Structures are given as structure tokens and as C-alpha cells.
Amino acid sequence: MSKRTKFLIAFALSLLLGFMALNLPMWTAQANETSVAAYHAYQTDAPAQVSLTVYNAGTALVIDHRTFELQQGLNEIQFTDVAAQIDPTSVNFKSVTDPNTYVVEQNYRYDLVGSSALLQRYIDEQIRVITADGTTYEGRLLNGSNEIILMTEAGEVVVVNYTNIRDIQFPQLPNG
């Protein structure tokens, strides 16, 4: 093969590779429009065995292997520090030592001690509301979503706007 032929082949390959390099961002952008990008953020081989993968659609996959001992019969296990936006149906349980072990009931409660959660759990219960000017209202909580609505012992219905509230007092933390 002559020097000229080798040069023309090398030149043609250079042009082709250069063209592909210039158009690569366009090809990548088109691929990302139809594909799902993922970023594997964290993994450890420690006993907790936690792995996190973050997706571009605002979701994440957390794989969290936890070890605990169960007694024979019914057991109750509580996990804390779980994301508030978890899909409860995505939680799986599998015993590595006894394949006949299974979940009888699964509950998911988040924001157990936030003010809105407390108000929701105290519907039809007695609470005390103190306004910015020091006025105290006591009564059975009828609603706590957009404003506090109480029914007093005298049967009056009192509506207090959140902007006027200085303090809300609950007799105790609710059960559960």
C-alpha cells in the first residue's frame, strides 16, 4: 500500500472520528431523553449493608439490610429514621435463616411528633390553644388542617387562625 493510500485512509478515519466526536453530545442528549440515568451514591459492606442509587426522576432506591433476632411466635419490630416519602409497598422482608417466617402486618407512620401530625392524632380530643394576645381556648379539636377548630365545654365552636396562635398544648403524646 502506497504512502498516499495510507494517508487517505488515516485522513478519512480522522474525519469520521472527528465528526462522531462533534456529534456525540447530540447523541448522548437524545439517549438521555428516553433512558433513565442513575447515580450510585453510596455503598458499604458494613453490617448494616446500605446502598443508595439516585435516579433522575426524583426517586431513589435504598437497599438496607438489617439484622435482628426474632423469638418464636409474634414479634414487633420498629424502624426509625425512614424517609417520609417512602413507598410502603416497596418494603420487603425476607428471613435468611427461616423461609417460613413472614410479615403478618406492616404499618408505616411518619412525622409522629410534628405539629400537624399531633393535631391530626388529637382530632376529637381535648387541647388548649393560646393566641398571640394571651387568650386561652380549651376544647375538643374538631379540625386542625387549615385552622384550629375547637368545641368548648359550653358547646361554642371556636375557630383560631394559625397566624394568631402562640402556643398549642396537648395533654400528652398520643399512643402509637
Cβ pair 41, 52 in contact under 8 A: yes
Average pLDDT along the chain: 73
Domain-wise residue ranges, the chain: 1-33, 38-90, 115-169
Give the best-scoring range by mean pLDDT among 17-21, 102-106, 138-142: 138-142
Per the model's pLDDT, the better-predicted residue between 172 and 2 turns out to be 172
Q: What is the pLDDT of residues 63-73, one digit of tens each?
A: 877 788 888 88
**What percentage of the chain exceeds 70 in pLDDT?**
66
Average pLDDT over residues 79-84: 73
Per-residue model confidence (pLDDT) at position 63: 81
Maximum separation of any 2 CA atoms in the chain, in Å:
108
Q: What does the pLDDT average to over 154-161?
A: 94
The CATH number of 115-169, from 2.40.50.100, 3.40.190.170, 2.60.120.330, 2.30.30.100, is 2.30.30.100
- pLDDT tier, 18 (very low <50, low <70, confident <90, very high otherwise): very low
The pLDDT of residue 35 = 44
Task: Dump pLDDT digits (tens) for 112-130.
Answer: 567 777 888 889 999 999 9
Residue predicted with more confidence, 107 or 44: 107
